[in-house]
Structure 1
Amino acid sequence: MALSLRSLFRAVTALAAALLLMVGMAPQALAHDSVVGGSVKEGEVLDSFPREITLEFSGIPKEGFITFALTNTDTGEVIFTEEPAADGRELKIETPEGVDPGPGNYQVGFQITSSDGHATRGSITFEVAGASAANDAASASAQPADSGSATADPELSGALKFIIAVGGVLALLAVVAMLFMKFRKNEEEG
């Protein structure tokens, strides 16, 4: 029985090690570069149309096939398309002279070649409220801030999933070790 128990323990240990390795490599293998910051944030309400739009990515996009397109989502009109200037992880476009679409809902669509070599598409939406935004901001600052609400960080959810997966593997290893010790004790007694 000791031989089969040892074999079982080795198999479970090898399986747990393989799972831990897969979980550890999964974020790199599955993650294309994504927007992690910039001058325009998802869902942000601006007072005026930005003269410059910068998006910061999680990795350094590769050169070639990089395009930004600014669209008015209220009308579906593509306002302009431009190849952004690259500075490390940041890609920047400038609003062309004479372009000032005014208040409305907008989307910065992007197509990049991620640092992992894969083509990646995505978008960031924002709103330009114009003069009404200043009035809304003034009335919002007069009201007390809601300290009980928090927005979820998308990076946190990925990290949290990783921690939970590693915790699960470690818990599995602990159960196997306890079973192994119990069987070994029973074998010695019997």
Structure 2
Amino acid sequence: MRTFTRAVAALAVALFAMVGLAPAAFAHNQLVSSTPADKSSVDAGPSTIELTFDQPVQGGTGVNTVVVVGPNGTDQWQGGDASVRGNVVTVPVRELGPAGDYRVGYRILSADGHPVAGEIKFTLAKAGNGTPAPPEQTKTAGTAAESTGDDGGIPVWVWIAGAVVLLGAGVFFALRVGGGAAK
């Protein structure tokens, strides 16, 4: 009976570890707000785009990319490199030109090392007088505006396999120790 109790205790501890501690391992940085807001309409173009995430973002030159694409789908309107302050990424924006839908693609590196990519959209209701960034200041669309779908994290099956191995080892250990103590 003592062996059975130890096995059940080991199983309970392993299940608690899997269920209670796993959400922290699977949590990835997410965009919580932006200025301008996603799907909003503005009368005048913003001077900066601000992206606020739920966790800190790594800073550094070339680590994070933000691309502002105009209504024609090719002209870019960002005015420089992205800067980071804690969980907020900011990029300067040139004076916008034609009215229409603008896309802000981003690819950031979370403090935990996971890349996160996404996009927000806003509509410029009234045309401005700006001109797009010259070709030498544009970024490749693949770095920010498109997400590959791979967040760079460890696949779920690896976590499940690891949990099964740990659970098996815990049960084996509990039975082995319990069996020796009963004799």
Secondary structure of the residue that 2:29 maps to in structure 1?
coil
**Equivalence for 1:44:** 40
For residue 119 of structure 2, the aligned residue among 123, 133, 140 is 123
TM-score of the two chains, using structure 2 as the length reference: 0.57
Task: Tell me the distance in 2 between the aligned counterparts of 1:47 and 1:12.
Answer: 64
Judging by fraction of residues, say which structure has more strand.
Answer: 1
1:40-70 Cα deviation digits (max 9, x unpaired): 2222222222122111111111123111100
* Separation of aligned partners in 2, 1:95 and 1:83: 10
CA distance in 1, matches of 2:123, 2:12: 48
Q: Distance in 2 between matches of 1:78 and 1:25?
A: 45
2:160 corresponds in structure 1 to: none
Distance 2:16 2:41 in 1: 42
1:45 aligned partner, one-letter code: S
Question: Is 1:56 aligned with 2:52?
Answer: yes
Instruction: Supply the distance in 1 between the matched residues of 2:32 and 2:9 (Cα, whole angstroms).
Output: 37
Counterpart amino acid of 1:47?
D
The structure with the greater share of residues assigned to helix is 1
Unaligned runs of 5+ in 2: 128-183
Q: 1:67 aligns with which of 65, 68, 75?
A: 65
Q: How far apart are the structure 2 equivalents of 1:14 and 1:59?
A: 34
Q: Which letter maps to 2:97?
A: P
How far apart are the structure 2 equivalents of 1:15 and 1:126? 51
SS in 1 for 2:36: coil
Out of 65, 85, 109, which is 2:83 matched to? 85
SS across alignment from 1:62: coil
2:46 is paired with a residue of what secondary structure? coil
- SS state at 1:79 partner: coil
The CA deviation string for residues 131-177 of structure 1, in whole angstroms up to 9 with x for no partner, is 9xxxxxxxxxxxxxxxxxxxxxxxxxxxxxxxxxxxxxxxxxxxxxx
Q: How large is the RMSD of aligned CA atoms in angstroms? A: 2.5
Computing the radius of gyration from Cα coordinates, the structure with the larger value is: 1
SS in 1 for 2:66: strand
Whole-angstrom CA distance in 2 between matches of 1:68 and 1:24: 35
Indicate the residue corresponding to 1:179 in structure 2: none
Contact 2:59 2:83 in 1 (8 A): no
Which residue in the other structure is 1:76 paired with?
A: 73
Post-superposition shift, 1:20?
3.0
Give CA-to-partner distance per residue, 1:88-146, whole Å, 9 cap, x none.
111111212xx313421122111111111122222212222339xxxxxxxxxxxxxxx
- Deviation of 1:78 after TM superposition, in Å, equals 3.9
Unmatched segments (≥5 aa) in structure 1: 132-190
Aligned length: 124
Written as runs of structure 1 = structure 2, the 5 A alignment for 1:75-114 is 75-81=72-78, 82-96=80-94, 99-114=95-110
Name the SS for the 2:64 alignment partner: strand
Q: 1:104 to 1:17 in 2, by over 3 A?
A: farther
